[in-house]
Chain A
Amino acid sequence: MHPIRGKAAIVGIGEVPTGHYPERSFIDAAVRVGTMAIRDAGIPKEDIDTIIPIGAVANPLDNANLVCSCLVEEMGLGKTAKSNFQVMSGGSSSANSLKTAVALVNSGLSKAVLVLHCDRLGTGIDFEAAITTFSKSSISQEYESPYGFSQLALAGLLQQRYMHDTGTTERQVAAVVESLRKWAGLNPNAMLRKPRTADEVLDSKVISSPVRKRMMNILADGAAAFIVTSAERAGDLTDTPAYVLGMGSRCTNFTCTAQPQDLFKAWGPACMEAYDMAEIKPTDVRVAEIYDAFPTFILISMELLGLCPRGTAGQIVEAGHTSPGGKLPVSTNGAMMAQGHTGAGGGMAILVEAARQVMGKAGDRQVKNTDIVVETASGGVGMDFHVGVLGREV
């Protein structure tokens, strides 16, 4: 057995609604999710000896303050905290901070770790600045930016080739949005809760072919947090810890041009690694909380995770199997397409949702028998791929 399989657990989670909240200050949302996670865990705040704030991108000053322990002061952790430091890898920060937290509690260097994300991409940054940010980061200034590339173009390139390789139809890609909106309708913290059918998605105009307007995510304000402690301690705190059973990852590239063209070869091993560590098979997965940014990435990830044969994810989504009541629930918070894109927080929202489903705290969207939940994350322009397996029992 893998030496750290099931040795740590997520014991508390916190989240505020994602959306446009101009009146909600950065620090207010951050402190709120932090204290929410501590109360949810029922852990004395004195036990939180390590604070890991994930990078905020809308305002460099907010981020500098996170790095310089503003949360330690605001939350009154200063008498017992030992470390405050940032983990930042864009969308995959959730996975990398989980990995760090698990290692810290397993080694005995930390008793309990608070991981927290907060950002204001909806109202703390203007729209033009946001487009500029996403057309400049993770893009080679020497060889890519002269051509008018952006992260939206990346979504176009990915969807085009995926449809070419698999014969997936545009309607099947659009059906991902329909499925996510149905979940978001059950999620009070989601931003886009109105139903949206695949046909309505196809009615919207092409933005970066074949990506249409309603296949785009929306930038939003949001915050979420989780607490990791040892399995031993977790058992004393709660009856429903989300044990960390497996983790696997691959980090392959910086630019989109250098992204491996065979993702199964490059990123497939990340899934195998996580499943092997967790001692599960793809058929054991009850819920898949898949990181999106764009609908095609969900389809590709379903296939990478072995949840369906290659090229068939679109059919499964179109048939309704990933929607509420379906046999393979996918991204039950609505993912970034419907919950909202909070910068590095998309992965956090997905990871917190995975823990929520395992803990049985997902309210109207709670899936039954969530013994095994898998979650994914990816940063940059698809620079890496992370898989985590959470479970009810070790």
Chain B
Amino acid sequence: MAEYKKPLPLITSLSKVFYDGCKENKLLYQQCKDCGEVIFFPKIVCPGCMGENLEWKESAGKGKIFSFTVAYDYAPPEFAGDTPYALAVVNLDEGFSLLTNIVNCDFEKISCDMPVEVMFDPVTPEISLPKFRPVAGV
């Protein structure tokens, strides 16, 4: 397997929990046990009530594209050889958003509000990145 040269996520005590989940094909997010706030990116304290009583939950991995862009040029240097590639903000059904790549899809067919689902791309033995693809049959 060729060496992976693109930026890997910064691993902190918080992001480690998230990426450990990804390694097991689980998309994790947080929820505040005090005020119910759905939290993502993972946080140290609840942005709703500043409480620290947070729990990890597993997302069903389904959502809709809020917006997207296909990068053809002027990409960050490590991605210059990968163009064109699609970036999107996806709104998950559980009520949080993430930035990701849209894969396994004709770029011409991507649209706002299109239903997508998570798949995990094992870019290194340690890191799997959650990416999204169109929901089959929609």
Query: Are A157 and B12 in contact, with the CB atoms below 8 A?
Result: no
Which residue on A lies nearest to B15, using beta carbons? A142
**Least Cβ distance of B57 to chain A in Å?**
17
Query: Is B101 close to A, CB under 8 A?
Result: yes
Closest to B84 in A: A209
Contacts of B111 in A (CB 8 A): 164
In the complex the two chains form, is A146's CB within 8 Å of B73's CB? no
| Contact residues of B between 50 and 97, Cβ < 8 Å to A | 66-79, 82, 85, 87-89, 91, 97
Contact of A148 among B11, B76, B123 (CB under 8 A): B76
- Are A148 and B9 in contact (CB-based, < 8 A)? no
Determine whether A382 belongs to the interface, using a CB cutoff of 8 Å to chain B.
no
Min C-beta distance of B46 to chain A, whole Å: 14
Is the CB–CB distance between A164 and B67 below 8 Å?
yes
Sorting the interface of chain B by its residue count into under 10, 10 to 19, 20 to 34 or 35 or more gives 35 or more
In the complex, chain A residues 137-159 whose Cβ is within 8 Å of any chain B Cβ: 140-150, 152-153, 155-158
Q: Tell me the A40-62 residues at the B interface (CB within 8 Å).
A: none
Q: Are B99 and A144 in contact (CB under 8 A)?
A: yes
B6 at the interface (CB under 8 A from A): yes
The yes or no answer to B49 lying at the interface (CB within 8 A) is no
Q: Decide if the interface of chain B is mainly helix, strand, loop or mixed.
A: mixed
Which of A131, A147, A207 lies in contact with B100, CB distance below 8 A? A147
Contacting pair A146 B87 (CB below 8 A) = no
User: What's the least CB distance linking A232 to chain B, in Å?
Assistant: 43
A147 and B129 contact, Cβ closer than 8 Å, known pairs A161-B66, A206-B72, A208-B74 = yes
Contact of A157 with B89 at beta-carbon distance under 8 Å, contacts A146-B129, A209-B70 already known: yes
| B8, CB-defined interface residue at 8 Å | yes
Known: A142-B10, A145-B9, A205-B72. A128 touches B112 (CB 8 A): no
Q: Which of A164-218 contact B (CB under 8 A)?
A: 164, 205-211, 213, 216
Q: How far does the Cβ of B21 sit from chain A's closest Cβ, in whole Å?
A: 13
- Distance of A258 Cα from B47 Cα, bound (Å): 12
* Contacting residues of chain B (1-37) with chain A, CB-CB under 8 angstroms: 6-12, 14-15, 18
B119 at the interface (CB under 8 A from A): no
- Check A207/B72 contact, CB under 8 A, given A147-B100, A148-B79, A161-B112: yes
Given A142-B12, A147-B101; A153-B67 close (CB under 8 Å): no
From B12, B91, B112, name the one whose CB has the most chain A CB atoms within 10 angstroms.
B112
In the complex, how many angstroms separate the beta carbon of A126 from the nearest chain B beta carbon?
A: 12
Say yes or no: A146 contacts B70, CB within 8 Å. no
Cross-chain contact of B72 among A140, A143, A158, A208 (Cβ < 8 A): A208
Contact code string A90-103 (vs B, CB < 8 Å = 1, else 0): 00000000000000
- Interface code A239-281, partner B: CB below 8 Å = 1, 0 otherwise? 0000000000000000111100100000000000000000000
The interface residues of chain A lying within 8 Å CB-to-CB of B107 are 209
B41 contacts across to A, CB distance below 8 A: 140, 142-143, 255, 257-258
Known contacts A142-B9, A142-B15, A146-B9, then 6 further A-B pairs from the complex at CB < 8 Å, ordered by chain A residue: A131-B74, A141-B7, A146-B7, A149-B76, A150-B75, A207-B71
- A sample of 8 inter-chain contacts (CB < 8 A) reads A128-B77, A141-B7, A148-B79, A148-B85, A150-B74, A160-B112, A164-B113, A255-B99
B positions within 8 Å CB-CB of A: 6-12, 14-15, 18, 41, 66-79, 82, 85, 87-89, 91, 97-101, 107, 111-113, 123, 127, 129
Which 7 pairs show the lowest CB-CB distances between chains A and B? A156-B69, A135-B76, A148-B79, A161-B67, A141-B10, A164-B112, A142-B15
